[in-house]
Structure 1
Amino acid sequence: MTDSVTKGTGRYILRSLGQADVLLDGQSVVWPARSAEELLWFLHAFPDGRYRHDILSQLWGLEDSTAAANRFRVALHRLRAALDWPDAVTEKGGRYRLNPELLAASDTYRLHQALRASRASETSRKREELLRQALASADGEYLPHLQGEWVEQARAHHRAAVVDGYLTLSQMHCAAHECPLGAQALVNAAQQIP
């Protein structure tokens, strides 16, 4: 899937599965500081947003202080500048979140959207098509270059969704008496478990 979003001054694609990357106009974003990239991916993992004190604590292990608040402001400024989009991160009621349009340019967003669409599909053929499309995009570990409790929780969430997708596909094949395909879907589900 190559969906992207055009905002600010360029096209964005967020790849969080496998080799994580952020593309702007087809070029990898060069991060001025690791904290800016970490902030982007942290907010990506929490689409509903987080308060500054939660970001400081969960992402960097810092207590809310003047120095920590300054680190956050600098990282936020650098993130927005690297993406050349002042509204890449929004704040409402003290909660910071990725702009929904930027989030929609993410491979994991499209994965979960396709999984939801497959569950809502009225025909088994369409459901299977959407499941296959979703699972084809689930290639690789979520943010493999990052460590921390927050990213492990996000990995587990994405992995569980993929496993559920394969189990559903297996059940569909078994119901259609396509046992070899059902067995392969079970093998694929098992391969997702570390």
Structure 2
Amino acid sequence: MTTMPTLSLRSLGRTEILREGQPVKWCAESARDLVLFLLSSPEGQTRDEIIDAIWHEDPTARSGNRFRVTLHRARTALGSLESITEEYGAYRLSDDVLRASDVFTLYASLGQAESTEGDARFFSLSQAIEAYTGDFLPHIQADWAQTAREEHRAAYTRACIERSVLHCEHLHCDLAVRDLVAALRADPFIGENYHQKLMTCLSVVEGKYAATEHYRRFVKFLHDDLSDTPMPETVELAEQVKAGERICQRGEREDAPLTHNCPLTSDGRCPGHYAELLQLA
């Protein structure tokens, strides 16, 4: 058994695979594709599934030979024959390789958060959020990458939402807003109740105008992207906000800094005259 070199696999937001601190040298692009494909499927894939995903070919003697050569090149590039294992016909990255990836950090941290409470839970959620620096393999448009991309984005979104709840419990309203904004920016299609929650938090942190502005953007988003309208309780909440009613009985606005983040725009900025009003608030 060979000694596994120190590896680092970054696939969230950027793609970078390092061996002993240096970029891995690939004999062929297909070897790199194999490693990335297996990173998207930690449970492993059969030879035929790999051939179909990477080369879009049927299993033949020719494609089988191509697979064997690519497998050897991938193992050599990672520095160990044990870097990619085979069991019951399924090929997968070894546990050591997987543990060197940011994807592993994301899910390991979420797992720790589920089994802990208090400060330990907050720390684990923060680790998960920090591990996610962007979409999984953003340069690859293959179906297998897109499927994993959506799963990892959902995991990140869940971490942001769960941490926002902890912030809310400790009356850190401005931080709760930031995490909710991050979650909704990553996936504005999540439950409407989270948009309601953001409206409520914004009414505490930035006031009724910011909360109303988010409601209006959400209504436009529903109309333009889903051909839908907000739920009656969302409309009712918006009317309460506009009327200046105190929605959240826990939050205190006086000491909370303004955040000015719009979750439905790519850069978080609110265009037009509203942005100027916010800067003067």
Q: Is TM (by shorter chain) over 0.5? A: yes
- Return the offset for 1:88: 0.9
- Return the offset for 1:9: 5.5
Counterpart for residue 124 of structure 2: 130
Counterpart for residue 115 of structure 1: 110
**Which of residues 30, 40, 48 in structure 2 aligns to 1:35?**
30
**Which of residues 162, 169, 172 in structure 2 aligns to 1:168?**
162
For residues 140-161 of structure 1, give each alpha carbon's deviation from its aligned partner in whole angstroms, at most 9, with x where no partner exists.
2211222200000000010000
Counterpart for residue 25 of structure 1: 20
What is the rounded CA distance, in whole Å, between the counterparts of 1:172 and 1:83 in structure 2?
40
Counterpart for residue 55 of structure 1: 50
What is the rounded CA distance, in whole Å, between the counterparts of 1:133 and 1:90 in structure 2?
28
For residues 112-148 of structure 1, give each alpha carbon's deviation from its aligned partner in whole angstroms, at most 9, with x where no partner exists.
1001101110x22211111112211211221122220
Q: CA RMSD in A?
A: 1.4
Aligned 8 A contact 1:59 1:150 in 2: no
Amino acid at match of 2:73: R
Aligned 8 A contact 1:173 1:181 in 2: yes
What is the rounded CA distance, in whole Å, between the counterparts of 1:189 and 1:137 in structure 2?
15
**Which of residues 69, 72, 75 in structure 2 aligns to 1:74?**
69
1:97-108 residue pairs with structure 2 within 5 A? 97-108=92-103
Please give the secondary structure, in 2, of the residue aligned with 1:10: coil
Aligned 8 A contact 1:40 1:79 in 2: yes
Please give the secondary structure, in 2, of the residue aligned with 1:147: coil
Amino acid at match of 1:173: H
Higher Cα Rg: structure 1 or 2? 2
- Aligned residue pairs total 187
- Return the offset for 1:176: 2.5
Amino acid at match of 1:51: T
Aligned 8 A contact 2:75 2:83 in 1: yes
Please give the secondary structure, in 1, of the residue aligned with 2:92: strand
Instruction: Specify whether residues 8 and 144 from structure 1 end up closer, same or farther in structure 2 by C-alpha distance, changes over 3 A only.
Output: farther
- TM-score norm. by structure 2 comes to 0.64
Amino acid at match of 2:144: W
Amino acid at match of 1:23: L
Query: Unpaired runs of 5+ in structure 1?
Result: 1-6
Aligned sequence identity (%): 37
Q: Which 10-residue stretch deviates more, 7-16 or 162-171? A: 7-16
Amino acid at match of 2:126: R
What is the rounded CA distance, in whole Å, between the counterparts of 2:42 and 2:48 in structure 1?
17
Please give the secondary structure, in 1, of the residue aligned with 2:9: strand
What is the rounded CA distance, in whole Å, between the counterparts of 2:4 and 2:51 in structure 1?
29
Aligned 8 A contact 2:4 2:83 in 1: no
What is the rounded CA distance, in whole Å, between the counterparts of 2:15 and 2:3 in structure 1?
22
**Which of residues 78, 83, 91 in structure 2 aligns to 1:83?**
78
Query: Unpaired runs of 5+ in structure 2?
Result: 189-281
Counterpart for residue 248 of structure 2: none
Greater fraction of residues in strand:
1
- Return the offset for 1:45: 0.8
Instruction: Specify whether residues 9 and 126 from structure 1 end up closer, same or farther in structure 2 by C-alpha distance, changes over 3 A only.
Output: closer
Please give the secondary structure, in 2, of the residue aligned with 1:18: coil
What is the rounded CA distance, in whole Å, between the counterparts of 2:9 and 2:75 in structure 1?
15
